[in-house]
Chains A and B, each alone.
Chain A
């Protein structure tokens, strides 16, 4: 059995790194920016920056957490840049997760159950748009990327307690929205 690669060695084969983590970075960007083109461009930028900075990677966190850290920073910059614009460009490639939600719920569920699932997933999706940038980031990292609190703290640069507070508020806001959607 081949010995496990250390985090730093993992970066030597960057093609594999891209293949392995692309989906995660792209998904986070997509859920944050809600636009396919912007998300794709941000994901490419994330890997490009990681490639350029790979020599400075010390392996204190996993490659995955390190890449998410870069992605979180890029999303933050992107959102701030967008805020500076006087108008918001209409999203040409906006994302609709409700279509996927109905497909997922259809697997063996009754039409009523499928409709209810679609509605609830749509409510979560709508609620994430109205969260603050930090609340949305910790929520997506926790409930979409399945990262634990310490990994989220490392990726966002927040303390674990701060992550908990943002997550708590995000869950509360989402439950409120789901309650209204019932």
Chain B
């Protein structure tokens, strides 16, 4: 049998944790019943005081808020970003394409230059003009054949 409710048991009771043992004690103990009744009464008076204090400010007339303005900060930020993309992206694309064209032209010029140089080189490296090339071949052939005959004779 509990002598009197402890501070923890009183708080437990107020929270709603009422075990059969606590209930049995409260039923039989006038002092604890009085303690709980006073606490409940104080909290009830606190509630009434709060309700009374807050009742001085009545509910304001509800006015449906205007539909949200389109120009809210996040929307404005998104719009600005979209505008930047719309304006800057085509410009940078155009610049990119132009740069590519310039690069391609440079490559073509370089190619034609090297082709020209190659043809000049090949022309320079030729011992005789092109129309005379068969004669050179013949002369070379003749000298080679004569050398072979000379060697055979020795």
Contacts and interface: CB of A to CB of B under 8 A. Distances in A.
Contacts of A171: 10-11, 14-15
Interface in A89-122: 95-101, 103-105, 117, 120-121
Given A15-B62, A95-B53, A144-B50, A168 B15 contact: yes
A172 B46 contact: no
Nearest to B58: A22
Interface string B102-126: 0000000000000000000000000
Contacts of B46: 97, 101, 121, 124-125, 143-144
Secondary structure at the A interface, as helix, strand, loop or mixed, is helix
A143 B59 contact: no
A117 B39 CA distance: 11
Contacts of A143: 43, 46-47
A156 to B, nearest CB: 15
A120 B50 contact: no
B114 to A, nearest CB: 71
Interface string B42-59: 110111111111110111
Interface in B3-31: 7-8, 10-12, 14-17
Nearest to A171: B11
A29 to B, nearest CB: 9
B64 interface: yes
A30 B53 contact: yes
A34 to B, nearest CB: 11
A154 interface: no
Chain A, interface size: which category? 35 or more
A99 B98 CA distance: 82
A31 B39 CA distance: 19
Contacts of A155: none
B45 A104 contact: yes
B45 A117 contact: yes
A52 B85 CA distance: 32
Contacts of A95: 53
13 contacts: A18-B60, A27-B51, A36-B57, A97-B46, A100-B49, A100-B52, A101-B49, A104-B52, A117-B42, A121-B42, A164-B15, A168-B15, A175-B39
The 9 A-B residue pairs with the shortest CB-CB distance, nearest first, are A22-B59, A27-B54, A100-B49, A100-B52, A171-B11, A18-B62, A101-B49, A97-B49, A124-B46
